[in-house]
Structure 1
């Protein structure tokens, strides 16, 4: 038996702003937005969504993961111990995607990587959470 990876929870100062930022960055949609949490899921997950409980295990296991944003009083102080890797498809312009994220409010981050040696770019979201944009790929 296997458990389903259901969501990643992100602690943040402004859960609603972070959820909106990530939904825009990933072209996802917000499906829940309260003072206690905001949830973003892949757009295709809504298209495939069945009303009510999913009783079939195989269908339930195939559903994509979401991001849950919850407010916390403290700010980020250290490098993330867990981060998200994003990858453009080989048909996409990777540099244009990075610029789009920067235009949305991401920032470039130096976590010790040598830009001449690595094939990824480290960025941070508006609250400083690091993530990587990998090289383009098709698998």
Structure 2
């Protein structure tokens, strides 16, 4: 999937907490909400990819690069306490796959899905999530 922005352009000097970088769209960054914007604007993209390649799952160098970026953001977020300590790159991958399915199947408000899914990555404080 080419979006005009390479996943590695995310700034590690952002003033935003890295947990937010993962889930929110900001110019110059790699975020779940940006992926939603692209998939929503180009609804046939997932179906076309699946028809051509038999799957929409990223593979090879593109997947490795995306996982590397997600790993860096998660590590930084964990250090700063803005993401659950048990969050893994696989969690971000699952959120993105779910996002693609919500958009492809027109299963509801994808922005709400992103907010709710990403809330699950936030740490709990005193028995409550930090965004409660």
Q: What TM-score range do you get, normalising by the shorter chain?
A: under 0.3
- Between Structure 1 and Structure 2, whose CA radius of gyration is higher? 1
Q: TM-score, normalised by structure 2?
A: 0.27
Structure (1/2) with the larger strand percentage = 1
Structure (1/2) with the larger helix percentage = 2
